[in-house]
Amino acid sequence: MDFVRKMGGKTEVTDKEVIVYPSSLSGCELDMQNCPDLGPILMVLASFAQGETKMINAARLRYKESDRIEAMETELRKVGVPIHSSEGEVWIQGPTAWKGGVTLDGHKDHRIVMALAIGATMADAPVTIEGAEAIAKSYPGFFRDLRSLGIEVKEK
């Protein structure tokens, strides 16, 4: 939640729940040194923030289940997100209205699939994510839970 707050998100954390309030997000610098697993979802969040977000110390993202920087850079470009990277840094310019009607690749990586699915909820048309079965590794009920929130999800 610290990264969300740093971007201007209003949240409240209690012992039993997290409350997220409507907020305007702003780009900022995010240090990924100790939390490489958050990289994909933070890239999605940055795509909706006003201005540039720079992720530093992100090289570890290249050595997870996939090269998460390359994977997210490839897939986010398909929906229109201005993004570029170096070995250990990522720059994302927002906000971006996600273009739907595209097919994205989950890169056999559960965190990539879940991040792309969250972003796709804001696209202007349906988005297909190939390799979505990768979520079984960490969160098999992910799509069921999205449906419980009123999000339309079709599984093939």
Secondary structure E strands in the chain: 10-13, 18-21, 29-31, 51-56, 83-85, 90-94, 103-105, 128-130
Please indicate whether residue 37 is annotated as part of the active site. yes
pLDDT at 25 over 80: yes
Structure tokens that stand for 107 in this block = 């890169």
pLDDT at 1 over 90: no
DSSP 26: B
- Please write the tens of the pLDDT for every residue from 28-42: 999 999 998 999 999
Q: Is the pTM of this model over 0.75?
A: yes
Average confidence (pLDDT) over 83-110: 96
Residue 60 pLDDT? 94
Average confidence (pLDDT) over 137-156: 91
Domain boundary assignment for the chain: 2-148
Q: How far is CA 152 from CA 12, 73, 79, 92, in A?
A: 27, 25, 19, 27
- Please write the tens of the pLDDT for every residue from 31-86: 999 998 999 999 999 999 999 999 999 999 998 888 999 999 999 999 999 999 99
Assigned fold of 2-148: UDP-n-acetylglucosamine1-carboxyvinyl-transferase; Chain (3.65.10)
Query: Rounded to 10 degrees, what is the CA torsion of 13, 19, 23, 28?
Result: 30
Q: Which residue has the higher pLDDT, 117 or 64?
A: 117
Which member of 31, 37, 109, 145 is catalytic? Answer: 37
pLDDT at 12 over 80: yes
Q: Report the mean per-residue pLDDT for the chain.
A: 95
